[in-house]
Structure 1
Amino acid sequence: MPLASGDADRGPITNGAWVLLAAILGSSMAFIDGTVINVALPALQSAFHASGPSLQWIVEAYALSLSSLLLLGGSFGDLYGRRKSFLLGVVIFATASMVCGIATTPLVLIVSRALQGIGGSLLVPGSLALISASFPEKSRGNAIGIWSGSTAVTASVGPLFGGWLIQHASWRYIFFLNVPIALLVVVVCLAKVPESRNPLSTRPDWLGALLAATGLGLCTFALVEGSDPSSRHPLLLALGATLLFLFVLWQREADFPMMPLDVFRSRSFGLANVITFLTYAALSGALYYLPLQLIQVQGYTAAQAGGVLVPMTVLIAVLSRWTGGLVLKMGQALPLGLGSLLSSIGYALLLRLKPNGSYWGTILPGVLFLGLGLAVMVAPLTTTVMNSVSQDRTGTASGINNAVSSVASLLAIAVCGIVFSVSFTEHLQRSLSTSSLPHEVQQHIFDHRKDLGGIVVSVPNARSLVNDAFEESLHRVLLLCCLLSISAAIAATFLRSSASQQTHSG
């Protein structure tokens, strides 16, 4: 099969629809998996009798390998062939999904999730690379728009459908579902998608990837396990931070760095990534604990919990096309600052969550404000990233920005885990000290405090005590998310001087 050069001026291709189909289906596997896993956490905790840190690792293992290897995965396609790299990612992801589905211990599931992340680091950048290489410049924007809209729809439907599968079948099916999708992608790619590569691509930055993965891994381990004061690892955290510092130094010296630091000479690019980090850290922290609150504390079914955030994703999908042009009309600061403030109001409204609160009164208002805020800022944020560098660096800029959002999610869940666990333990200690529950029940609750909302108790008053502790801890996490979102709004104000003039890095 002939190689497509991927040049912008190439004429129209005949297999464009097939390329789009393969790219949408392939990337949708990763996006659905990323959104549905939080809804599955209560079922996973019940199935494996997993502690809070074990649940975190089920999410963090995927985020760690994805964020560490995302930039490296993007370069693989340019060097070895975009279709080949994309297909390898699809096969790894599907194989790991199968193992996830048959896992019988938390360790097997965690390792399999890490393998999913490795597959995702190839197929997520690979899907866009296939589109960029297969469509001429005039039709590329429309193709990317179709891809973006389709993945947004699948990401919004994913938790709802996944929740239905969990409720009526088993959590295992949310992983098995990836296998037939992957088979279809492989058939379409082999039959209809042309191979392409970048003849000017450089060799992968293996040392950079090793430093980034090891540094992030050590920091994540220290933070996740540090939720229990008796098992904190300050030396591991310091070692991880040192390795990340060495990663930055290596990126300055490497001939072919995976994250070229010269793009950060653009003030707008640097600030846009600060806002990206703060925004996705807040979102990931909130969305990790919200399904646990809804299912374990408020008694929602998995399907109901999966449908809670549908209004948010619908708002983002519908409004993003309109908000994408706001940067040209209003500059960068206004939409990014306004969107961040609206999101902070959403987190603040979610502080009204109560064990017996109604969806319409205590959940929907916060979800709507959060969706509106993200809809106002997500597209302008992407535009700011792309406009802040020269045209030949947009691929690099996009890859770095995606990696920043993944790292934000990784670290936010780890840090929020400490905030949540400390608050939960403190509340339990206070409540148990004044409780009239039998001593053996009190001891059972405290001994299983790492299970958080998954603590199994049969005494009604004991369940209420656990629920109250979970609610207070969630409020602290939401308050932190609110502060992160406000910080993003403050960072956006520093973009004012860049609203009318972009600083490009060469």
Structure 2
Amino acid sequence: MAAKENKLKVSEVPSERFGIILPIVLISYFLILLNNSLIFTATVKISAELRLSTLMVAWISNAYALTFGGLLAFSARLGDIVGRKKTLLLGLAIFSVASLLVGLSRSAGMIISMRAVQGIGASLLAPATLALLMDNYRGKQLQRAIAYYGATAGIGASLGMVIGGLIASYFSWRLGFYLDLLVGLTLIFMTLTGISNQDQHKQVKIDWGGTLTSIIGFGSLVYSLNGSSYRLVAFIVALVSLSIFAYIESKVAHPLMPLVIFKNNQRLSALLLRFFMLAASMSYFFLMPQALQRVFGFTPLVASLAFLPLTVVQFIASLCIPRLTSRFSNGSVLITGVIIDTLGFILGSMIGINSGYWLAVALPMILLGIGQGLIMGPATVAGVAGTSGEVAGAASGVVNTFHQIGGAVGLAFISTMVAGLKAADAIIDRAQFWMVVLAVIMTVFALNILRGEHE
């Protein structure tokens, strides 16, 4: 009997090895980030080959953002109900098939519609990846896993730009999406063979009212920021729909997005911090490559490589997260990262791009890389802190929703602030000023975490 009890206790001790789940999660998440980078670096070639207007080119990105942002909350809840493995497999299948069809596109209608389908797949992948980490790891192992997750999020966009720049410069833009397909098929095989069937079927009815209003609300919000017409109407629809959504979530027994997620000061502050961080960072990643090409005459590939001071430092900083959070605290590391990130934006804004690449761009990028490397993992930990298994998937969906919508809002806001300017140097200098404003707001929410974790 004693031997049996001892065997049971030993089997219950969690392994220090991550196993196959962490690689599956990180590669899946990187696949999402790489996808947008492929579009950013290939828009000129896509436009020329398919003979697209400026409006059509914009919708290649808008269609993806519309379905991604609009379906995140529903996809996260779906993972809670039917299981992470099934949700991940469904997302990979949709994303992979859509990637193939994007690569095969011969018209504006086809590439735009397939990008929308890719967004549906991404909306299933994003919350499922984070929820899988929370389901399978505990304690310090979970902190390390989320740190690696944050590192992937931090370097994915910039590293994707380099990969996209190489493909766009030396191969067909279609190759990038064929690579998406191959990676997706590989991940499907890894998931089928490496992740056990986690029976997560819950006898819970889907919150269809919340689902409908959230899709309309978040979709309309994204469109109001990126659309070409009726943007005010879309914004009003978004406000009304999201208000109804919040009311429904406060009344139903099993809400799509449990409002308890927002009652904890730490979680709410971390979510808003993430929103404004992405608002500033997405604008930087979108506008700075254009400035490097127009002000310094860089090629698309060289402009992508010019982000290495940010990418390499960010990756190194991200890998230091487990040791730093063990020695200090998650909140301390997060706040330190936010302050360094804000200083990077301030430095770039004060120097001005006409001072040259090394002083005006590379030097601030080092601070931005350190700051963002220290932010992503701890912000993710703080954003899902204290959530139970019942709402873990919903919490991860909220993290990704704030991430996606924050980037779209920030880019739309800063684009409006620089509208009317013609000179490339004037555009990026004014844009960096407004990035500083967004970063300062991010800092305020970071400091608010010091008030405690009260409900």
Q: What TM-score results when the alignment is normalised by the length of structure 2?
A: 0.84
**Where do residues 302-341 of structure 1 align in structure 2 (5 Å cutoff)?**
302-323=300-321, 335-341=333-339
Pairing partner for 2:420 from 419, 423, 437: 423
User: Which whole-Å CA distance do the structure 2 matches of 1:208 and 1:298 have between them?
Assistant: 49
Residue of structure 1 aligned with 2:445, choices 488, 491, 494: 491
Distance of 2:451 and 2:340 partners within structure 1? 23
Q: Which structure 1 segments of 5+ residues have no match?
A: 1-8, 428-467
Task: Classify the secondary structure of the residue corresponding to 1:195.
Answer: coil
Given that residues 36 and 162 in structure 1 are in contact (C-alpha distance below 8 angstroms), is that contact kept between their aligned partners in structure 2?
yes
1:94 to 96, 101, 112: 96
- What is the identity, as a one-letter code, of the residue corresponding to 1:293? A
Residue identity opposite 2:196 in structure 1: P
Q: Using the TM superposition, give the Cα deviation of residue 261 of structure 1 relative to its aligned residue in structure 2, in angstroms.
A: 0.9
Paired residue for 1:402?
400
Who is 1:503 aligned against?
A: 454
1:189 aligns with 2:198: no
Secondary structure of the residue that 1:127 maps to in structure 2?
helix
Give, in whole Å, the separation in 2 of the partners of 1:488 and 1:30: 25
Q: 1:145 to 1:125 in 2, by over 3 A?
A: same
Q: Is the Cα contact below 8 Å between 2:348 and 2:432 reproduced in 1?
A: yes
Query: Cα offset for 1:163?
Result: 0.9
Rg (Cα) greater in structure: 1
**Deviation at residue 87 of structure 1 after TM alignment:** 1.3
Aligned length: 444
CA distance in 2, matches of 1:258, 1:264: 13
Aligned to 2:420, what secondary structure does the other structure show? helix
The 5-angstrom pairing of residues 52-451 of structure 1 reads: 53-133=55-135, 149=151, 156-200=158-202, 202-225=204-227, 233-296=231-294, 298-323=296-321, 335-351=333-349, 354=353, 358-387=356-385, 394-420=392-418, 422-424=419-421, 427=422
What amino acid sits opposite 2:60 in the alignment?
I
Q: In 1, Cα distance between the equivalents of 2:319 and 2:306?
A: 23
The whole-number CA distance in structure 1 between the counterparts of 2:411 and 2:253 is: 34
Q: CA deviation at 1:344?
A: 3.0
Q: 1:308 to 1:325 in 2, by over 3 A?
A: same
* Superposition deviation, residue 240 in structure 1: 2.1
The one-character-per-residue Cα deviations of 1:69-116 (angstroms, maximum 9, x if unpaired) are: 223222323322332221111111011111222223444323222211
SS of alignment partner, residue 96 of structure 1: helix
**What RMSD, in angstroms, separates the aligned Cα atoms of the two structures?**
3.3
CA distance in 2, matches of 1:154, 1:195: 29
Unaligned runs of 5+ residues in structure 2 are: 1-10
Give the letter for the 2:204 counterpart: T
Q: For the structure 1 residues 84 and 308, does the alpha-carbon distance in structure 2 shift closer, same or farther, using more than 3 Å as the test? A: same
Matched residue, 1:22: 24
Deviates further, 358-367 or 244-253:
358-367
Q: What is the alpha-carbon distance in structure 1 between the residues aligned to residue 27 and residue 328 of structure 2?
A: 35
- The structural deviation recorded for 1:118 is 0.8
Amino acid at match of 2:427: S
Q: Distance in 2 between matches of 1:10 and 1:247?
A: 41
The letter for the 2-side match of 1:360 is W
Shift of 1:201: 6.1
Please give the alpha-carbon distance, in whole angstroms, between the structure 1 residues aligned to 2:212 and 2:12: 37
More displaced 10-residue stretch of structure 1: 237-246 or 32-41:
32-41
* Cα offset, 1:68, TM superposition: 2.1
C-alpha distance in 2 between matches for 1:139 and 1:97: 33
Using the TM superposition, name which of 360-369 and 190-199 deviates more: 190-199
Cα separation, partners in 2 of 1:336 and 1:233, compared to 1, 3 Å: same
Q: Structure 1 stretch 170-179 or stretch 88-97: which is displaced more? A: 170-179
User: Is the Cα contact below 8 Å between 2:62 and 2:223 reproduced in 1?
Assistant: no
1:475 counterpart residue number: 429
Q: Deviations over 1:258-287 (max 9, x none)?
A: 211122221222222221111111111221
* 1:477 CA displacement: 2.4
The alignment-based identity, stated in percent, is: 24
- SS of 1:423's equivalent in the other structure is coil
Give the residue type in structure 2 aligned to 1:109: I
Relative distance call for 1:473 and 1:375 in structure 2 (3 A) is same
Contact 1:280 1:405 in 2 (8 A): yes
CA distance in structure 1 between the partners assigned to 2:382 and 2:404 by the alignment = 18
Name the aligned partner's letter for residue 473 of structure 1.
I
Q: Write the distance in 2 (CA, Å) between the matches of 1:244 and 1:294.
A: 39
Cα distance change on mapping 1:273 and 1:116 into 2, 3 Å:
same
Shift of 1:364: 0.5
- Alpha carbons 2:279, 2:406 under 8 Å: kept: yes
Deviates more, 1:375-384 or 1:331-340: 331-340
Aligned in 2, Cα 1:411/1:58: closer, same or farther, shift over 3 Å? Answer: farther
Kindly state the Cα deviation for residue 358 of structure 1 after the two structures are TM-superposed.
4.1
Are residues 417 and 197 of structure 1, via their aligned partners in 2, closer, same or farther at CA, if it must alter by over 3 Å? farther
Tell me by how many angstroms 1:408 deviates.
0.8
